Every structure is written in structure tokens, then in C-alpha cells.
Amino acid sequence: MPPPPPPPPLGRGRKRAAQTFDAALDDAELIGARAALAQGRWTAVRALLAETGDDWDRRGHRVTVLAQEPNTHAWARDWLLAEPESADANVLLALATVQRALNGKSKPDRARAACGAAAALVPADPTPWLGLLMLERFVGAEEDVVKLFDEVRHRYPDHHHAHHLMTARLAERRPDAGRDPLHEVYDFAAWSAEHAPADSPLAILPVVAHAERYRVLAAAGGATDPVACGHWVGRRARQVMKAAFDWWLEWERDDHPRSHIDLNFLAHAKFCEGRGAEAAALFHRIGPHATPAPWSYPDRDPYKAFRAARDSALGTA
């Protein structure tokens, strides 16, 4: 079974949705640098990435978000012309090329070459490998995806985005296996959570695995109502949701650049589980920072799904 095509950009066609789904989340410095880059002022991005340093999760988040903007590829090339030896310019150009390939505007081989060139300049940086993983997660063979995930982990074992990508790909194995509680994606997520530091947001990965597996089962002809299908109310599912919520209560990492992604997955799970009070607490923490996944699962309007769940949980439906 070939991997599915990348999802289309969400929120671009409607002003309201575009305001709701901002990939930058709550990173004000990133939002400012992105606005400057849209005007061709790449020096703001240079300063941002220099300040980010080797905070690999934050660097991956910032470069990925910048790369999604339609003019980034052109401005990154201008930056590279001015500073040919800039590792940051090379990495940004590489991930912008990946985005172009995923959007059908460039050949995958160009993206692979750009990421390879960037990786050679900065051997310790997992970000070029993250770019390759983003690409091959959709167009590559599974053995290539696994190898790239290992390359990222070799440089930073707890890489948040890479674990999410690997979870999504593993969830697509054996779509005809149904609601198998022993599916390999659950084992991968549990192993990753158990071997991460106590305060690592990878503790939420088992919840992500549940949502990604639901996406696959629904697309294969399963129940398309995430609340009514019962996917989140089995014994193992409840144990996973409780453990993740308890971790959040004890270790909430609001300093993590992708924390709102975890909060959205956890709020979605708690709402589908029927735990309205716990979901409400999570919606309060999410505030305006909704994310398309998992509210779009399966093939739903994510803005409407998020708003309906939030209003229900907060008692304002």
C-alpha cells in the first residue's frame, strides 16, 4: 500500500481559519522573523537561527515553519548568494526545497540533494535529516524512513517532530488489522515514552499513536465519528490517556516549542474519551493555538471540529 499524499495546507483559503491554524504557534520571535522574511529581510532569520543555537527541537520547529512560507525558497537563495558558507542559509534552503517537493513544485531528488548538502555542512545538526524524514515519510520506502529516523535520533535522541513523523508512518502499517491493541505503532510510542527523560513531552506520544491509528482505520472504511467509534474508550486506551494526562499535570512543558501540538492531541483524546472536565482544562491551556491534526481526522473540517469540541467541553455549546 503506497503512503498517502501529504495533506493540503490548512487555513490558507479562509481568513478565520488562517488565524486559527498558525504553524508558528506561540513563538513570537519566529512570527516576527517570518514577517520580515516575507519582505525579503532575511537578516532577521539569520539572527533568529543564531540565537536558537543547538536547541534542536526549537531549531527544527522554526526552520520548518519558515520553510512553509511560499517565498522562503527564493529568499533563502538570496541569503545564500550573499553568504555562501552560511550553514543556516543552507539548512533553510534545504527544508524550503522539501516543502516545494511536497507541494508538487519540485522534484524529490532536488530536495534530497539540498538536504544532503546542508547535512554535510553541519554534521551535528539533525534538522537536514528531519527535512529528509518529512519528505520520505510521504514518498519513500519504509526502510528509508526508518534509516532517516535513526539519523535524527543519533544526533538528538528525543527529537519531538521526528517521533511524530515516525509514529504517523508506523500507524499506516496493516490498515486491515483493525483495532489491534498490539499494533506496532503502540509499542513504538510506549517504548519511546518510557526511554525518554521524565520531563520529556514524548510522554504524550502514545496518545499521538492512538490518533494516527484512528486516522488510518477511518480512511480504510472504519467509523468516521471519532467520539462514537469507541476508539478511545478501551481499557488500554484509557490507561494511555490517563498516564499522559497525569504527566501533563506534573510536568507540563509550556517552554517546549511544540507543546501546543501535544495539548491538541491530548485534548482531542480526552474529548473523544468523554472526559469533559479534563478536556476543558486542556482547551484553556491551548487558547488560540489550535492545530489541524488531529481535529481534521478523518477528512473533517478541523476548525469546525476543534470549535465544536471546545465549546462542548467548556459548556458553551
Instruction: For residue range 214-247, list pLDDT tens digits in order.
Output: 999 999 987 789 999 999 998 989 999 999 999 9
C-alpha cell at 303: 476548525
Contacts with 132 (C-beta within 8 Å, 6 or more apart), sequence order? 98, 111, 112, 115, 148, 151
- Phi-psi category of 174—alpha, beta or left, where left has phi over 0 and alpha has psi -120 to 50? left
User: CA-to-CA distance for 261 and 70, rounded, in angstroms?
Assistant: 23
| Cβ contact 29:44 at 8 Å | no
- The pLDDT value recorded for residue 20 is 66
Calculate the average pLDDT of the chain: 92
Residues 20 and 264: beta-carbon distance below 8 Å: no
CA dist 42 and 33 (Å) reads 8
pLDDT tens per residue, range 289-311? 999 999 999 999 999 999 999 99
- Answer whether residue 316 shows pLDDT above 70: no
| Range list of H helices, the chain | 15-20, 28-38, 43-52, 56-67, 72-82, 87-102, 108-121, 127-139, 142-155, 160-171, 184-195, 205-219, 235-251, 259-273, 276-286, 292-295, 302-313
- What percent of the chain clears pLDDT 90, i.e. is strictly above it? 86
Percent of the chain with pLDDT over 70: 93
C-alpha span between 206 and 186 (Å, rounded): 6
- How far apart CA 3 and CA 10 sit, in angstroms, is 20
Mapping DSSP to helix (H, G, I), strand (E, B) and coil, where does residue 174 land? Answer: coil
Q: Give CATH for domain 28-156.
A: 1.25.40
Q: How many angstroms separate the CA atoms of 258 and 60, rounded? A: 10
Is 136 exposed, middle or buried (CB count within 10 Å of its CB: 0-12, 13-18, 19+)? buried
pLDDT digits (tens, 9 = 90+) for 259-287: 999 999 999 999 999 999 999 999 999 99
Domain residue limits, the chain: 28-156, 187-316
Instruction: Quote the pLDDT of residue 104.
Output: 96
With vertex at residue 151, the alpha carbon angle to CA 130 and CA 33, rounded to the nearest 5 degrees, is 25
- Assign residue 25 a region (left: φ > 0; alpha: ψ between -120 and 50; beta: otherwise): left
Rg of the chain (C-alpha set) = 19
- Greatest Cα pair distance, the chain, in angstroms, is 58
- Grid cell digits, residue 166: 515516525
